[in-house]
Amino acid sequence: MTSSSSSSSVQVAVVGGGPVGMLLAAELAHFGVRVTVIEQNTETLDVPKAGTLHARTAQVLRRRGYLTAPRTAPELLDREATQPFHFAGLPGLTITGPAVEGDPIVGRAQSDLERQFEKTARQRGAVVLRGRKVTALGSGEEEVTLTLDDGSDLRAAWVIGADGARSLVREQAGFTSEEHLPRAQAVLGVVELEDPYSAPPGWNLTERGWTVINPSPWGPSRVAAFDFDGPHPDRRTALTLAELQATVSRIAGRDIPMFHATFLDRFSDYARLVHSYRRGRVLLAGDSAHVHFPVGGQGLNLGLQDAVNLSWKLALHLRGRAGEGLLDSYTAERRPPAARTIANTQAQLALMQPGRGHDPLRDLFIGLLQNPAVSRQLGDMISDQDVTLPRGPHQSRWTGTFLPNLPLTVGGRTTGVVELLRPGRLRLLVLEPGAANDLRKAVAPWPVDVTVADCASQLAVGACLVRPDGYLAWADDGGPAGLEAALEALLGRPAATTEKEPV
């Protein structure tokens, strides 16, 4: 694609090659989709962005093979793993998850994830166009045309906008959003501190705002400050080292000299959520669909879960094997967690308001965090472990819940849920031998898309249908009723097929 008249076509074009876009490419390529990523940066940027994978994101990525599978020993079934975290900069919150899932918080730099996903995507056959930029988008009934900065066109059956908060795809495709205007601003930099030992470490509240400093005597330090005097008149104005030092020093109440900035940025508490994640043949994922105040490290996690949720559904759709409403379930399942994240970050920002008038509220909240039930509820919210997918009125109470990494015995071999889901197909787990024949008959019309596993486990149901992302699409509380309806909703009406099985 070097001339203004050149053109090519793919099944899916992903605009934006950050971690969300690269994960989309890796997953779609795994399912045999011809996918191309367009990314304007020539290489991954090592900048201080998100570095926390919360529990549900880590659990999903383990099921898809991007994190090491946890140990699935029976003695871990009744145990929990707990790690400390914070809420609005206040201590006392813990993130707790089943021990069979491994650590509930995984520290991974966003840039490391992007590199891993890109390497995997390329190995699976995805095309990654770096140093290229989309300048225009034209949607039609059968395809979407992307115009690149060299004048060439890329035609795609589907386009996914993973191009961030200032998404060109979102704007040109005509997505509508609900917005929350900013009330505060923040500055962030990676700098050398003149005296790192005297800088206030960690989260610190003053009468003027917050400083968040990770001082290092051996190299660059990450320095941030939250200013509640109102939003910057133009948040796109480039931050300077002088402004960073002045803001951090003013909020800290004393001079904090710094020099040699390698990264400078500003942001605010502006929030946006699109009304629908799909418009025709264009879909959105990550920050292009939702943005919020970046407290608690939740934005990257939302985006990565978007990518996994969308990929297997779009792959089925492209193969002609998706139920009528499967793609629309992407919005129905992923928009509510984003709305809740916007709400909880706004609540955290309210708790962070400086001034003695808010101190009693903070003191009360710190006390509440000592209550295990409160800490668990907030921890599950931050880590998305309380997410339950929408279900119908007559479906099992297990439907839409996340299946833990329970030990399973399959064919005399001990394994776990994580390993069974690695191929990315729907898995029917049959735990009651008496119902096996009826269940196998029910899934027989979809032999390419569903794998049946006769297994033994402590799972409290006789059988269940597990999606590639780990959520239950159907569960049997006493009989096979509803399985065929669930399969039809996911895979459409059964039809004879000679299709080759996916990887």
Pairwise pLDDT comparison (77 vs 222), residue with the higher score: 222
- Give the Cβ contact number of residue 44 at 10 Å: 19
Residue 348 predicted with pLDDT over 70? yes
Cβ contact 465:401 at 8 Å: no
Q: Which pLDDT belongs to residue 497?
A: 46
Q: How does strand 271-274 pair with strand 290-291?
A: antiparallel
The mean per-residue pLDDT over the stretch 286-308 comes to 95
> Given pLDDT bands bounded at 50, 70 and 90, which one contains residue 501?
very low
Task: Quote the distance between the C-alpha of residue 157 and its chain's center.
Answer: 24
Distances (CA, A) of 457 to 60, 83, 427, 461: 21, 28, 15, 10
Q: How does strand 153-161 pair with strand 7-15?
A: parallel
What the block records as the tokens of 444 is 């027989």
What is this structure's pTM?
0.94
The mean per-residue pLDDT over the stretch 495-500 comes to 50
What the block records as the tokens of 351 is 């708790």
Q: Which pLDDT belongs to residue 481?
A: 66
What the block records as the tokens of 476 is 């049997």
Q: Which pLDDT belongs to residue 480?
A: 62
Cβ contact 104:95 at 8 Å: yes
Residue 368, SS3 per DSSP = helix
The mean per-residue pLDDT over the stretch 110-114 comes to 96
| pLDDT single digits (tens) 419-472 | 999 999 999 999 888 778 889 998 999 999 999 999 988 788 889 999 999 999
Q: In which order are the strands placed within the sheet that holds 413-416?
A: 413-416, 407-410, 450-456, 426-430, 463-466, 472-476
The rounded distance, in Å, linking the Cα atoms of 190 and 261 is 6
Pairwise pLDDT comparison (256 vs 434), residue with the higher score: 256
Amino acid at 355: G
Pairwise pLDDT comparison (437 vs 113), residue with the higher score: 113
The rounded distance, in Å, linking the Cα atoms of 280 and 176 is 13
Amino acid at 90: L
The rounded distance, in Å, linking the Cα atoms of 441 and 438 is 5
Amino acid at 496: A
Distances (CA, A) of 463 to 431, 439, 440: 5, 9, 11
- Give the Cβ contact number of residue 453 at 10 Å: 15
The rounded distance, in Å, linking the Cα atoms of 232 and 247 is 12
> Given pLDDT bands bounded at 50, 70 and 90, which one contains residue 502?
very low
The rounded distance, in Å, linking the Cα atoms of 395 and 475 is 8
Residue 141 predicted with pLDDT over 70? yes
Q: Give me the domains of the chain, ranges plus CATH numbers.
A: 7-178+272-382 (3.50.50.60), 185-269 (3.30.70.2450), 407-491 (3.40.30.120)
Q: How many residues does the chain have?
A: 503
Cβ contact 230:268 at 8 Å: no
- What percentage of the chain has pLDDT greater than the value 70? 96
List residues bridging with 258 in a β-sheet.
193
Residue 178, SS3 per DSSP = strand
Q: Which pLDDT belongs to residue 495?
A: 66
Residue 69 predicted with pLDDT over 50? yes
Q: How does strand 282-284 pair with strand 153-161?
A: parallel
Residue 300, SS3 per DSSP = helix
Q: In which order are the strands placed within the sheet that holds 271-274?
A: 177-180, 271-274, 290-291
Average pLDDT score over the chain: 92
The rounded distance, in Å, linking the Cα atoms of 488 and 483 is 9
- What percentage of the chain has pLDDT greater than the value 90? 80
Cβ contact 62:101 at 8 Å: yes
User: Could you tell me if residue 58 is left (phi over 0), alpha (psi between -120 and 50 degrees) or otherwise beta?
Assistant: alpha
> Given pLDDT bands bounded at 50, 70 and 90, which one contains residue 49?
confident
The mean per-residue pLDDT over the stretch 219-247 comes to 93
The rounded distance, in Å, linking the Cα atoms of 466 and 421 is 8
| pLDDT single digits (tens) 195-223 | 999 999 999 999 999 999 999 999 999 99
Cβ contact 280:139 at 8 Å: yes
The rounded distance, in Å, linking the Cα atoms of 125 and 28 is 10
Residues 6+ apart with CB under 8 A from 403: 417, 459, 464, 466, 470, 471, 472
Residues 6+ apart with CB under 8 A from 306: 20, 277, 285, 286, 289, 334
DSSP E strand boundaries for 131-242: 134-139, 144-148, 153-161, 177-180, 185-193, 202-206, 209-214, 221-227
Q: What is the dihedral of CA 438, 441, 443, 448, to 10 degrees?
A: 150
- Angle among Cα 203, 204, 207 to the nearest 5 degrees reads 145
Residue 3 predicted with pLDDT over 60? no
* CB-count exposure of residue 23 (10 Å: 0-12, 13-18, 19+): buried
